Amino acid sequence: ELMSRVGYRMEVDLRSLVKGEEHQFLKGLSEATENREKALFYLLERSEWDFFIAVFEALDLAQHFFWRYLGGNDGGHGPSDPKLRQAIRDHYKEMDALLGRLFESLDDRCALLVYSDHGFRPLRKDVFLYNWLEERGFVQLKRNWEGVKVRALKARAFPMRWVKGLFLKDHLGHSHSVAAIDWTKTKAYFFSLSGQSIRVNLKGREAEGVVERGVDYERLCERLRKELSELRDPETHELVVEKVYTREEIYKGDFVENGPDLVVETREGFGLQEGFGAELTMEARQFQTPRSGDHHREGIFMLMGPGIRKGAELKSAEIIDIAPTILYLMGLPVPRDMDGKVVQGAFEEHYLETNPIEFCEGTKQGEEGEYEYSEEEREEMERRLKALKYME
């Protein structure tokens, strides 16, 4: 229905970016935002909603690929093309105008929240941490990968006939395959691109864990922290890492052990990349084009509506506070085991007094069960996955 009424597009077409057609890509971003706005208002108007959420990604893509065109002190190159120089600012203006139209359409009972899962900062280089982990002996490659294939890969001369079925490649010299790793001799590995983290190959936790719990684990983590803090860009000799956190410094709860053992915060201009690279540090690229903007942990969180303070600055708010704050706004209890807290500083005192925060017991971890899908359910699931481009 949505596809037929507004022609809803699931994602931004990246082909123009791959071809180097930057103006066409910018046009596509604006069209995608306009299209999602049509879908947003169509859905808002056809039903009564208790809760409605919409996600816009065009601004994210604009900042990833056009940050280098910002002038002044923003880390850009300042091209003469005004359209490229203004690309990010123009998309912020588009979103601001969209929010204005959305606000005008809401009645005075509604609360409007605007938030992001991250901010942005300049990016110059990808850091291929697997190169460093292998060089330091934390990662061991299988013997048959230590010879000509690995040397060819690092020389950016990996024959493409070897690539099929073994590697997913973004550009030559960058390959993210775990097929080459000898897990029986590997002590630690790069765990998450989005989480920028390292996981220890721990006995009893990993399938082929080799590191003993206790003293061996602690010593390994401490060595990794120390040596990562000393990591420098071979070309510029800049320090790459700002800080390395242990999991206990970041996570809490009953399942901390399931998370990464170390989380790496890089300095501005650097980002950890998965796989092996031709060099330890290389120009940051994605979709065969320079990627000059990277995620920064400082995002945004704004609220407006009944009972919300005007002009309040929420300095202590964190991303994990958004969910409990939404529950509170909806008059629902907050589970006691939910991460985060209600951002009380966002609300007027009278509102807090007349609407006290309520809590409920959290959900308990139950045993896993099996569920058999009907043929209709399977067909519907496949249809949705194909719409999301996860299936052909």
**Chain segment 276-318, per-residue pLDDT in tens:** 888 999 999 988 889 999 999 899 999 999 999 999 999 999 9
pTM comes to 0.82
Alpha-carbon span 43 to 105, nearest angstrom: 13
Whether residues 312 and 328 share a domain: the answer is yes
Per residue, what are the HEC states of 329-349?
A: HCCCCEECCCCCCCCHHHECH
One domain for residues 131 and 118: no
Paired tokens of 272: 């950890």
Sign of CA pseudo-dihedral 266, 271, 276, 281? negative
Lowest pLDDT segment from 65-74, 134-143, 160-169, 343-352: 160-169
Mean pLDDT of 174-185: 76
Share of the chain above pLDDT 70, in %: 85
Q: What is the domain range of residue 229?
A: 125-153+170-283
Would 78 be classed as within a structural domain? yes
The pLDDT of residue 371 is 67
Instruction: Flag whether 376 is in a domain.
Output: no
Is residue 160 a part of any domain in this protein? Answer: no
pLDDT, greater one: 155 or 45: 45
* Judgement on whether residues 114 and 149 belong to the same structural domain of the protein: no
Measured between alpha carbons, how far is 231 from 235 in angstroms, rounded to an integer? Answer: 12
Q: How many domains does the chain have?
A: 2
List CB contacts of 214: < 8 A, sequence separation 6 or more: none
Of the two residues 124 and 8, the one the predictor is more confident about is: 124
State the Cα–Cα distance between residues 43 and 58, nearest whole angstrom.
20
Residues 238 and 209 in one domain: yes
Task: Examine the domain organization and report whether 130 and 242 are in the same domain.
Answer: yes
- Per-residue confidence (pLDDT) for residue 200, from 0 to 100: 98
Looking at the fold, whether 225 and 264 belong to one and the same domain comes out as: yes
Q: Is 108 exposed, middle or buried (0-12, 13-18, 19+ CB in 10 A)?
A: exposed
**Shared domain check, 326 and 273:** no
Q: Give domain status of residue 291, yes or no.
A: no
Domain presence at residue 181:
yes
Q: How confident is the model at residue 387 (pLDDT cuts 50, 70, 90)?
A: low
Q: Is residue 131 domain-shared with residue 279, that is, in the same domain?
A: yes
Query: Is the pLDDT confidence value at 228 over 50?
Result: yes
Are 130 and 116 within one domain?
no
Q: Are residues 146 and 272 in the same domain?
A: yes
Are 85 and 112 in a shared domain? yes
Please report whether residue 224 resides in a domain. Answer: yes
Tell whether the model's pLDDT for residue 163 goes beyond 50: no
Q: What does the alpha-carbon distance between residue 377 and residue 113 come to, in Å, rounded to a whole number?
A: 34
**Domain-embedded: residue 43:** yes
Tell how strand 281-283 and strand 276-277 pair up.
Answer: unpaired
Pair (197, 223) in one structural domain? yes
CA pair distance 244, 31, nearest whole angstrom: 40
Domain membership flag for residue 174: yes
